[in-house]
Amino acid sequence: MVNRMQFYIDGAWVDPVVKKSTPVVNPATEEAMYEVALGSKADLDKAVAAAKRAFETYSQTSREERIALLTKVIEVYKGRMKEIGAAVSDEMGAPLPMAEKLQAGAGLGHLMNTLEVLKKYEFEETMGTAVIVREPVGVVGMITPWNWPLNQIACKVAPALAAGCTMILKPSEFTPTSALIFAEILHEAGVPKGVFNLLNGLGPEVGAAMSEHPDIDMISFTGSTRAGVDVAKRAAPTVKRVSQELGGKSPNVILEGADLTKAVTGGVMHMFNNSGQSCNAPSRMIVPLSRMKEVAAIAKGVADKTKAGDPRAADTNIGPVVNRGQWDKIQALIQKGIDEGATLVAGGPGLPEGVNKGFYVRPTIFADVTNDMTIAREEIFGPVLTILGAKDEADAVKIANDTPFGLAGYVTGDTVESARRVGRQIRAGNVNLQGVPNERSAPFGGYKQSGNGREWGRYGLEEYLEAKAVAGFNAA
């Protein structure tokens, strides 16, 4: 039985200082499933004090001790993946097979990848008479979102554990159960008390207090650009490190000569994955202007075959979006696309046919979009694809980079060489060529208003380390 009315602080489940809770709603049914406790600054102060105490000893553990700990975490995690998948499906609407394989699987992948990085990472190097020592940054506050809950939790917690940091996690109040299971996993694996602490709460209350807390040395935040700006402002007076992975409006450039059927079909399916609720979703498909009608027809064919339905049903391709607020925002943006003159190719406003409840969005395609339209500028965070036409390759690059965001980019060409040429020109932290997926050992993060810092692999570990130069260490 997952304990939703307590917090995990200093190695134990404890009651909130002030009893306050919020309902967790199933987006497929719009019904409240249970209540989850909400924390306050007083709860945060307890968690930070525990993490600060634990840092004194955990920061001094050896590589071998941390390897053993992560190995045990992975072992326990594997035994609870189906439970995690079910919780993610119920709370944010992902189809159950996808939640078990990809949502829960992403957490396992980051744990395993971090373990391999830890085994090989050089924490010391020599520079002349000096030794450069990489030490844990300290107490870390972590704020994670609801769209890929275990992915974001694991790619923060795993490297922080590997680095020797202690931490406080505030997961999204919309998807608390998978995070609470994760806390149980760490407890069972023997993570020392105070090293990992969890409290649920609202961003304007607990999240803001975390950003401002003088005894938190670093904030790792994943969420909207708007919230990320607020976190950075609040963190500035204490000069803490701030690592952020924020919004995106990623271009998917399909060049002249590419296999249109394959590239467009793959791009639409990628956009609709997770109901479009991925920060790196390829939401702006940029194609040769002369091929717009052909591209739109292919995209419509994919949308028409994409079923939005019950996450537990075998024939469901995408589930609902996470909550009423998101649904309302997406509906308003779809209507804005129509009002501004984009061609509605598939989908549109309202619930899918035959659906009368749940936060379901019709898989939607807009063609003939220009880059000044609202649907080409704002992150929609739903299953809505915009298709833009480019006069030539140079125009495609210009359109791709004409955005305040820079998280990801996608390029498909007639050859790898043409994809490479365009990929090098895209201003984004991650660029995928020819349909190849992300490499988990490579860094993940954004340019511009998509954030700063990097996660995953060696780069993710180094976010949680400080470099100390000790001159004279190797003097004769």
Q: Do residues 357 and 29 touch, judged by C-beta distance below 8 A?
A: yes
Maximal CA-CA distance, the chain? 80
Contacts of 339 (CB under 8 A, 6+ apart): none
Alpha-carbon 41 to chain mean position:
25
Please confirm, yes or no, whether 165 is among the known catalytic residues: no
Q: Which of 245, 379, 455, 462 is catalytic?
A: 245
Q: Which long-range contacts (CB under 8 A, 24 or more apart) does 189-192 make?
A: 189/69, 189/72, 189/73, 189/75, 189/76, 190/69, 190/72, 191/69, 191/73, 191/161, 192/11, 192/54, 192/57, 192/58
CA atoms within 13 A on the CB side of 117: 25
d(CA 33, CA 17): 24
411 membership: H or E segment, kind and range: strand 408-412
Q: Which of 155, 173, 212, 279 is catalytic?
A: 279
CA distances from 257 to 264, 284, 289, 295, 304 (A): 13, 19, 13, 13, 26
Residue 289 tokens, joined: 């202007």
Per-position b or e across 39-73, b if 16+ CB within 10 A of its CB: bbbebbebbbbbbbebbeebbebeeeebeebbebb
3-state SS class at 471: coil
Question: How many beta carbons lie within 10 A of that of residue 294, not counting itself?
Answer: 14
Please confirm, yes or no, whether 245 is among the known catalytic residues: yes
Report the catalytic residues: 245, 279
